[in-house]
Amino acid sequence: MDGRARRVAITGYGVVAPCGIGKQAYWHGLLGPGVTDRRTVTIEDWDPLPWFESPKHARRADRVEQFAVAAAAEAFEHAGRPDVDPQRFGTIFATGIGGLQTLEDNVEIRLDKGERRVSPFLIPMLMANASGAAISMRYGLQGPNETIATACAASTHAMGYAARLIVWGRCDAVVTGGSEACITLTGVAGFTNMTALSSSGVSMPFDTRRDGFVMGEGAAVFMFEEWEAAVRRGATILGEVLGAGSTADAHHITAPSPDGAGAIACMNQALADAGLTVADIKQINAHGTSTSLNDAAEAKAVAQVFGDAPPPMTSTKGVTGHALGAAGALEAAAVLLSIEHSLIPPTANTSSVLTESKIDLVTHEPRPWQPGPVLSNNFGFGGHNGSIIIAPGPSA
């Protein structure tokens, strides 16, 4: 990170995902079978009540906020609460869309029953900043409370900005991450009609047979702290944010730049921010959505940056589906678990890797590795590119 006088420690995190609720259940899911025969993958039988004061309070939170609150609770339980001035304790959160289910439900209510039956909680439930606001209020965090909505790059951008607030000295601790829950009839129809979703119902990143993504949902929340303060309070430091990058393709509203120029610039920016070379990166967690254009552009970009000796690369979306604005957060959690277990989870469902690509994609089985710095990429509609570099903590 620019300056380097203040380092950024990761001291806790929480996960809510279709393949597991809680970080260790999530890890078990990442090593399991991939998503097949479905266009969406959801958290089945979701019950928000354990994380809310009453059923009434749970009903007044959209599913996207419920996921965020649950993941934040695990993050605080995991990290403990830093002894930080509340005005220097920030909340930098992300989502791609926000409370789409609430909006869709209330449009139907208005059409069927009239405008007087629309919920008075419609706006606070659907607004994109609801999840971050809920976390801030629940834990009394009075520092910067901002929501980033840069489509599928949103969580990675949020984490990069959160880290910089600590490096710059504006905050001493920041809760960050992202949440998404927009698998609604209208949302799925929209993605289907733009031919983004897999017609075969299989997410197979970087496979020659790939035909679109499977839509996912979930949340992951992290505790970032100033390193020395974390050491003083005796926190377990799980990882360190070394650097981050953010660029724009300025090319097309949905398609990535075919030459990968924006992604190349973003990865190089993250490396420069971290003060690292390509040889220092020991794993890449790819965006890898299983769409034809995205995977080809990302593979080309990785080959351009890393040359003929790329580090092992994986995409977890074969298991999780594509959780849009929460994707980067879920993948950062996968990075920390990969460090903890000294295993790189395989790219599920992928067996015939792009022949023209120069990538070392982990497939079929998890691969043992010696943990080191990991580059995690996310690229979003609108041409948004985000990269973040996470290194093992001292106990890894």
Predicted TM-score of the model (pTM): 0.97
Residue 1 pLDDT: 74
Report all structural domains of the chain as residue ranges with CATH numbers, in order of start: 8-392 (3.40.47.10)
Q: What is the pLDDT of residues 149-179, one digit of tens each?
A: 999 999 999 999 999 999 999 999 999 999 9
- Residues in CB range of 389: below 8 A, 6 or more apart: 241, 242, 243, 244, 270, 271, 273, 274, 276, 281, 373, 374, 375, 376
Residue 224 pLDDT: 98
Write the single-letter amino acid at 126: L
Task: Point out the residues that are catalytic.
Answer: 152, 287, 322
Round the average pLDDT of the chain to a whole number and report it: 96
Q: What is the pLDDT of residues 13-34, one digit of tens each?
A: 999 999 999 999 999 999 999 9
pLDDT band (50, 70, 90) for residue 4? low
Contact (Cβ atoms closer than 8 angstroms) between residue 362 and residue 337: no
Average of pLDDT values for 130-153? 98
Residue 3 pLDDT: 53
Q: What is the pLDDT of residues 246-272, one digit of tens each?
A: 999 999 999 999 899 999 999 999 999
Q: How far is CA 353 from CA 132, 204, 348, 349, in A?
A: 38, 9, 12, 11
Q: What is the pLDDT of residues 363-392, one digit of tens each?
A: 999 999 999 999 999 999 999 999 999 999
Residue 356 pLDDT: 77
β-bridge pairing 8-17 and 173-180: unpaired
pLDDT band (50, 70, 90) for residue 2? low
Average of pLDDT values for 203-221? 97
